[in-house]
Amino acid sequence: MTRAQIMKSIKDKNVQFFRLQFIDINGIMKNVAVPKSQIEKALDGDMMFDGSSIDGFVRINESDMYLKPDYNTFTVLPWRIKEGVSAARIICDVYMSDGKTPFHGCPRVNLKRVLAEAKKMGFTMNVGTEAEFFLFKRDENGDATTTTHDTAGYFTVDTDDEGIDCRREIILVLEKMGFEIEASHHEVAEGQHEINFKYADALTAADNTVTFKWVVKTIAKKYGLHATFMPKPVFGINGSGMHTNQSLFNLDGSNAFYDKKDKMELSKVAYQYIAGVTKNARGFAAVTNPLVNSYKRLVPGYEAPVYVAWSAINRSALMRIPAARGMSTRVEVRCPDPTCNPYLAFAMMLNSGLDGIKNKLAPPPSTDVNIYQMTPGQMRKAKIKSMPASLLEALEELKKNSIAKETLGPHIFEKYVESKEKEWDSFRIHVTDWELENYLKIY
């Protein structure tokens, strides 16, 4: 989108308020709102903000930072059109106080850097995310509960799915914002949903993923519901994942993962990419699964991918190769959950795959049996490792992973680990209801 097109849309839609959005290292959307009088200044990239107030950004003596908008992310907000007055948003990269230097702690800038390195190798990356979420009721004070709004199950028909109206409006809003929606359905657990939208280049896919989460939460609130992407909000039922379909394309536009001569119709590049992801999976878990709660989803018995393996048919493996071939040939990495920062998660998965390509790694044999039914001895023989069992273990794996600091950059790596270690320590010293229920009366 050009500046002229944006200004025409602002005029035609009577946009009076403009949101400049960006993402912190934990994947939380932030924004600075400006009135119409400041829109041209904002489009020039001359809007400043205090970076020292954002987790993982800069120190107080380096606080002045600029927001440089990406014109392609401009969109009018359908739910903010009232009495002919509209609001719009645009996603920005964060720049240093000189206004010329990209900030190396900006997750979006960091993903651009990693994608540029991939391009030097002759590849672009396409990504499609499938972010599951729950819709819960709110109490009389408007606070979120964990009481589901329905008793429906996987692919349940409309009459049993009380969230259908909310889900329909989410889809309509997303379509007005330029999303191409492919399908939606009720998920396995009560109150759990999924809306699938078309894949895109990795940067656009990350932008779309954070926008999707924002829209879901916004429209759910309109219906008196609370939408959460928390990986495991309710014990004993399935958690929410974000299966991430990814493929590399050659610069001529062909799919680098496809080779019709191979028995699985996968190219050497695809096998090497799979090998790289397999090698680094435990190392990137702290980024793709970033919460203490994430590891309460990554347990056997709830369809979550616990084991580092790959297969064309096996949904118990970490990586699945969907059946489509040709231009649709791709790898589905099933471990990420929707609380991850997609800019960092895509960068880590991409560089993991590129690590396999650079070093010409061979993947382990595909695992085409149900891993959940394998004995420990069978798993050892097959050399199948488990994903980390806690955020602490994941952080230790991240810190010793050979490509993590290179992928995230020294600034993000240091600040991210620092933030997550604080989160783990806070959890470690907290006295939980489980402890009170099991220990208080006995000891």
Is residue 404 within 8 A of residue 283, CB to CB? The reply is: yes
Query: Is 187 assigned a catalytic role?
Result: yes
CA nearest to 92, candidates 71, 116, 75: 71
- Which residues are within 8 A (CB) of 413 and not within 5 positions of it... i.e. 6 or more apart? 404, 405
The three-state secondary structure class of 364 is coil
Q: Which of the residues 3, 168, 315, 380 is marked catalytic?
A: 315
CA triplet 375, 376, 380: central angle to 5 degrees? 120
Q: Which of the residues 44, 46, 50, 55 is marked catalytic?
A: 50
Q: Which of the residues 187, 337, 355, 397 is marked catalytic?
A: 187
Q: Which of the residues 332, 337, 355, 397 is marked catalytic?
A: 332
Q: How far apart are CA 31 and CA 339, in angstroms?
A: 18
Q: Which of the residues 162, 190, 194, 337 is marked catalytic?
A: 194
Query: Is 265 assigned a catalytic role?
Result: no
Query: Is 315 assigned a catalytic role?
Result: yes
Q: Name the residue type at position 257.
A: F
Q: Which of the residues 149, 243, 282, 320 is marked catalytic?
A: 243
Indicate the angle between helix axes 342-358 and 107-120, nearest 10 degrees: 20
Is residue 110 within 8 A of residue 413, CB to CB? The reply is: no
Query: Is 380 assigned a catalytic role?
Result: no
CB burial readout 82-99, b (16+ within 10 A) else e: eeeebbbbbbbbbbbeee
Q: How far apart are CA 259 and CA 269, in angstroms?
A: 10
Q: Which of the residues 24, 93, 108, 132 is marked catalytic?
A: 132
Query: Is 194 assigned a catalytic role?
Result: yes
CA nearest to 349, candidates 399, 254, 410, 280: 280
Instruction: Give the single-character DSSP code of 53.
Output: G
Q: Which of the residues 130, 259, 337, 355 is marked catalytic?
A: 130
Query: Is 430 assigned a catalytic role?
Result: no
Query: Is 397 assigned a catalytic role?
Result: no
Query: Is 50 assigned a catalytic role?
Result: yes
Q: Which of the residues 161, 334, 355, 397 is marked catalytic?
A: 334
Beta strand spans in 178-219 (E): 181-186, 192-197, 200-201
Phi and psi angles of residue 77, each rounded to the nearest 5 degrees, phi first: -90, 110
User: Which positions are catalytic?
Assistant: 50, 130, 132, 187, 194, 243, 315, 332, 334
